[in-house]
Structure 1
Amino acid sequence: MAYGEWQNANPLTTRQQVADLVKGLLQALDTQFAAGETGITLGNTCAHYGPDIARMEGLSRALWGVFPLLAGGDTLPEAEKYLNAIRYGTDPQHPGYWGDTGPYDQRLVEMAAYGYGLALLDGRLTRHFSARELENLINWLSQIDDAQMPDSNWNYFAILVQMGFKCAGLPWQREAVERRFAMMEAYYLGDGWYSDGPGRPKDYYISMAFHFYGLLYATLMADDDPQRAALLRSRASLFAADFIHFSAADGASIPFGRSLTYRFAMVAFWSAAAFAGLDTFAPGVMKGIVLRHLRWWFDKPILDRDGILTLGYAYPNLAMCEDYNSPGSPYWALKTFLILALPDTHPFWQADELPLPALPAVRAITPADQLLVHSEGSRHAWLLTSGQLELNNYVNTEAKYTKFAYSSAFGFTIERGRYGIKHAACDSMLLLSEGDGYYRGRRGCDSVQTSDTHIFSRWSPWRDVQISTWLIPCGAWHLRVHHIDSARALHAVEGGFAVMHQPGITAVDERDGATLIASAVGSSCIVERSPRARLAGHVITPPNSSIMFAECAAIPQLSGELPPGEHWLCCAVAAGVSEPLSPDNAPRLTLTATSLHVSGADGETTILI
């Protein structure tokens, strides 16, 4: 099925149209799904687990779409094939048995889908299994009870299995649920935010895992565990007031962190909020966020010619994927279709689709050390971040977590090589080299402070190089101020946002102290504000380096030589979706011994240093 057919055929405005979308995705999978098989083969790329587990993963993730359809009363021709796969996959005597699990096993992750189905369908799922088949399913899932797994959102997988048992009227272990919740309580940061384990990042796993599963639990276990249900709902409400700032008016979300190949799982939180009847925002607001987001995605080439979701972000791109992404991994995106468990008569479906509410231009999220900014009437959403170190060092960790800014319209670029600035993903980064072509930027931070007006971080790319950075939003612009104390001579390159480079279309305007690039997807500008001027220029990256478009990216930049000693580097940076940018409109900065004084179109701010 060609991507264009998906793009043009379905306006995605009603429950039936969303259900048709999911059925179409499942029909495409069915062409790869042989009768009697216990997995789905979707490709030949590899993850850190073997192909048998990858096939099991592909089947299991499809169930995130199958189960809400069935719960909502839809008929699904492929349903019996999935039920047979579950019967065979959990039968130790069957050649397609999914096997016994070990520590940190990917199959533990996929067990969440079966707990989800048991809980969502209550007794309507178990009645399809004989007594022996049901015993096999229970025994296979029960391996998760005491399984050794990462100290992270994985704990919720064990909770979902027990919740499924309870909702389906099967024996369950309350103590297992209590133990897992107790472990995750250590991750809670306040104001509705978690980290994904001790010292781990605050990324989309907080929305699509912690709060998604938490709202499922709060809804389906409300009678049995009312106190925890109320707590989870309260935290989700706090989180919602922040998380809405990650959405732009056109439906795009800000790409940040790992696992971006799960794509529209970015708004799974809002589907769970609708399912739970969370009232932080009106049903029409949540409906608008979800449906605009789906339209945004299905206007992108994310399906192959057979209608299969590809690995990548806004287009197929293996270079930005994680080592745990198999060909079936993207189907975790189907978590967003929990809304299909709601009938047509539900307030979510009955409500008129509403735009984003009026939001403040800047939202400080202190627990996540982020400033969320909306400009151009929320057509552009972007965040400034302190930089979060992902301890597992996944592929392109620095690009995914430690840049200064991330954009709903322009995303970010990834490294395509270890040598030379064009391969180094310099957008929204300050990169430093000893003149040998190898660049270092911000990775871990020694200290971080977040306020309503700015983010401060201190970081050290070498032991004898200390850098203090202030990120200051100012209307559609933001200012970056770096104090560098270096024992070595360095070459510095600082980049703005990355836009699409198309010869003959993209226009580059370089002048003293500023570069403005105008492209088919918008414009990007960087303006020098340092006491010691750097050279304005731009860099063209290789194709497939941007997560947003396959074409080469153009990045405005400032560069200069830094002898050993102390230096101040300052610049103003902006990107525009539809409104024109001009270096003449960039905010100005005055440095004193004790303060940074910022003046721009929106007023003046003084930050003590």
Structure 2
Amino acid sequence: MTAAREIRTREQWAALADEMLLAVRPYASPHHALITLPGAPGGYGTAVDGLEGFARTFLLAGFRLAGERGADPLNLAELYAAGLAAGTDPSSPERWVRPEEHGQAKVEAASLALILDLTRPWLWDGLDAGVQERVVDYLSSVVGDRGYPRNNWLWFRIVVETFLRSVGGPWSAEDLEEDLALHESFARADGWFSDGDQRSYDHYVGWAMHLYPVLWARMQGASVEPDRQARDVARLDRYLQDAIRLVGADGSPLIQGRSLTYRFAAAAPYWAGAIAEVPSTSPGQLRRAASSIVTHFVQHGAPDEDGLLTLGWHGPWRPLAQSYSGTGSPYWAVKGMLGLALPADHPVWTAAEEPLPLEVADDLVAVAAPGWIVSGTHDDGIVRVVNHGTDHALEGSLGGDSPLYARLGYSTATAPLLDDEAWAEPFDQAVVLVDADGRSTHRSGMTLLGCAVVDGIGVASSRSVAHRVEVDPSVQTHGSGLVGASVVVGTLTVVSVVRGAWELRAVRVDDADPGLTLRTAGWPVSGEPAFLAHGVRSDGLTSLLVAEGLDTEVRLDKDASPLGTWTATPWVSTPVVAGSWWVTAVCLAQHPNDPPTAAVTEQLTVTWPDGLVTTTHLPHQQ
């Protein structure tokens, strides 16, 4: 892969897909049922790794077959048919872990079912009756299974049972009704979904909660009420109006949330929008978003020089993966190549690409469900999210902060610190109370107070019970923060006023224990640091934190980010003055302008660098 390579046209997409499919062949078992890619085994063991390698590359093979209407120069149908035969044969040394044996097989079963339905004329119909019976037997153990997590996994059972229904296998109307009702319970404002009961807003909203309804409605065994399908499309349409604003001009998706090693799976909802023919985002802009994302990763070494996807972001970086991730896991990325299932004459391929919003002008929106102010700046192409409502937790809970969810800011140019210390002691993009021993508080379970853009100014605010967490190291999490005994030490109210690359951050402390220090930290930037008066510049990015009367310090962390060996984060601290507002100015930009200034009474009056003066009312003490 070369730094200059573009993935824009359908031909370029197809060439990349074929290279990826050919690259995994040397790692296939003799009958192709297991594709066990190089690297240390994942948390679920080699058998699951091999199944994931098959099922997830099967997605891409299926997209290629469907989009070419069965044309198959790589002999994909024959290879994957052989794998289906061996994987479902109980006597084969290549037999798959079954859904009733391991939960991860339930995930992979959905990929098998989805592609068997999508490629029915060229694959399923060509399997002999015995293999078909074994596939049905393999999949049918999910019927009536109550062991599915209450999140996006609900769609795995729906997809499998819908396929089973279409081939005369067992299925349960009660299961489908239950799962669809659960899906509805996760619906939030403006087309957004949470990935479960908690405030879990991340890429799963697009690559799962919106993707599967679109694909399911087109499965042969689906019986979708017109009202439901119309509602699903309307929600997707509205969600995409926000999601299109979360892609940087360089094609980077937002670096936030779990499962980031799936990389360009972030492109999946744009293809879903093209399939569903959403009215508000044009085919050319949908393809622009998807192509920009895939091009970004190709130009940054994913796939690698051997054509393989590793556990990491650009290059390999194992800490980015979840505890259960294995060598085949990154191939869920191919969901972002769904567009290849659409033929060359589809409007998404024939339309001219259209620019993303921030490629035209500065862009500023409020996203109500996750409590985000999204600010994209045209001059440097960076998208920033100021976060006051997402933490992968329930309001009022007192667990630890997840660096992937609970930080005050995320962007397309920075990654949160993700080493062990970052999970135990929040630092970057965090406002915390620090005790005499240097222990920091967490804010998960925060209360969103407001999130809106008015007259070109974004304002979001939240209140949190500041608490220390004595971490229980024996408990594993899949995205949420660490858990343990919590000690409440005060209340923090934070207000963010956003315009362009700058955020004015006003903080008030109430009900605090004595002897605490208030600390705020800015954007973490990775690369070779050059220290500035109020921050740091690293590989073309400047991170500033300005506090009147205080010197800005910079902390260096090693091997804490997938974006570089060294990461620098500016920070300032001050003794707690209960009931008083403390204001800092925080910036991330390639070429920052002068900082805004602020005056505080019962409101925050900001004078911006261009002379504009704005006023924001500050919340009263609870």
Task: Give the TM-score, by structure 1 length.
Answer: 0.89
**1:167/1:603 Cα in 2 relative to 1: closer, same or farther (>3 Å)?**
farther
Q: Which residue of 2 aligns with 1:516?
A: 535
How far 1:266 moved relative to its partner? 1.0
Matching of residues 365-444 of structure 1 within 5 Å: 365-377=367-379, 379-391=381-393, 398-417=402-421, 426-444=427-445
How far 1:507 moved relative to its partner? 2.5
**1:343/1:98 Cα in 2 relative to 1: closer, same or farther (>3 Å)?**
same
> Which of residues 538, 542, 550 is equivalent to 1:534?
550
Matching of residues 189-588 of structure 1 within 5 Å: 189-220=188-219, 225-357=225-357, 361-377=363-379, 379-391=381-393, 398-417=402-421, 426-452=427-453, 453-462=458-467, 463-485=488-510, 486-502=512-528, 506-510=529-533, 515-529=534-548, 533-542=549-558, 544-547=559-562, 549-562=563-576, 565-577=578-590, 580-582=591-593, 585-588=594-597
Q: Counterparts of 2:389 and 2:138 in 1: how far apart (Å)?
A: 40
User: Residues 33 and 83 of structure 2 are in contact (CA less than 8 Å); yes or no, is this contact kept in structure 1?
Assistant: yes
**1:471/1:11 Cα in 2 relative to 1: closer, same or farther (>3 Å)?**
same
Q: Counterparts of 1:104 and 1:404 in 2: how far apart (Å)?
A: 37
Q: Counterparts of 2:98 and 2:57 in 1: how far apart (Å)?
A: 22
Name the amino acid aligned to 1:507. A
**1:59/1:6 Cα in 2 relative to 1: closer, same or farther (>3 Å)?**
farther
Q: Which residue of 2 aligns with 1:164?
A: 163
User: Residues 99 and 109 of structure 2 are in contact (CA less than 8 Å); yes or no, is this contact kept in structure 1?
Assistant: no
Q: Counterparts of 2:53 and 2:388 in 1: how far apart (Å)?
A: 35
Q: Counterparts of 2:438 and 2:201 in 1: how far apart (Å)?
A: 32
User: Residues 433 and 440 of structure 1 are in contact (CA less than 8 Å); yes or no, is this contact kept in structure 2?
Assistant: yes
Q: Counterparts of 1:193 and 1:328 in 2: how far apart (Å)?
A: 29
Q: Which residue of 1 aligns with 2:55?
A: 60
Q: Counterparts of 1:34 and 1:94 in 2: how far apart (Å)?
A: 11
Report the aligned-residue RMSD.
2.6
How far 1:7 moved relative to its partner? 4.0
How far 1:416 moved relative to its partner? 4.3
Matching of residues 169-184 of structure 1 within 5 Å: 173-184=172-183
How far 1:418 moved relative to its partner? 7.0
Q: Counterparts of 1:215 and 1:526 in 2: how far apart (Å)?
A: 44
Q: Counterparts of 2:501 and 2:557 in 1: how far apart (Å)?
A: 25
SS at match of 1:403: coil
Name the amino acid aligned to 1:455. A
SS at match of 2:61: helix
Q: Which residue of 2 aligns with 1:589?
A: 598
Name the amino acid aligned to 2:495. W
User: Residues 535 and 553 of structure 2 are in contact (CA less than 8 Å); yes or no, is this contact kept in structure 1?
Assistant: no
Per-residue Cα deviation, 1:97-155 (whole angstroms, up to 9, x for no partner): 22443487011011111121122123432122111110111111111222211011101
1:604 aligns with 2:602: no
- How many residues end up aligned between the 2 structures? 582
Name the amino acid aligned to 1:138. V
Q: Counterparts of 1:507 and 1:535 in 2: how far apart (Å)?
A: 16
Q: Counterparts of 1:495 and 1:164 in 2: how far apart (Å)?
A: 50
Per-residue Cα deviation, 1:26-67 (whole angstroms, up to 9, x for no partner): 111111113225212223434442221121112111112110
* The 10-residue stretch of structure 1 (316-325 or 146-155) with the greater mean CA deviation from structure 2: 316-325
**1:496/1:24 Cα in 2 relative to 1: closer, same or farther (>3 Å)?**
same
How far 1:292 moved relative to its partner? 1.3
Name the amino acid aligned to 1:599. T
SS at match of 1:573: strand
SS at match of 2:48: helix
**1:211/1:125 Cα in 2 relative to 1: closer, same or farther (>3 Å)?**
same
* The 10-residue stretch of structure 1 (448-457 or 274-283) with the greater mean CA deviation from structure 2: 448-457
Per-residue Cα deviation, 1:503-545 (whole angstroms, up to 9, x for no partner): xxx43122xxxx132222321111115xxx4331111111x31
Name the amino acid aligned to 2:335. K
How far 1:171 moved relative to its partner? 6.5
SS at match of 1:273: helix
Q: What are the ranges of 5 or more consecutive residues in structure 1 without an aligned counterpart? A: none
Q: Which residue of 2 aligns with 1:107?
A: 105
Q: Counterparts of 2:199 and 2:107 in 1: how far apart (Å)?
A: 18
Per-residue Cα deviation, 1:365-396 (whole angstroms, up to 9, x for no partner): 11121111111357111111115333599x99
Aligned sequence identity (%): 28
How far 1:224 moved relative to its partner? 5.2
Per-residue Cα deviation, 1:274-326 (whole angstroms, up to 9, x for no partner): 12222321111111111111111111133444321111113211122211211
Task: Give the TM-score, by structure 2 length.
Answer: 0.87
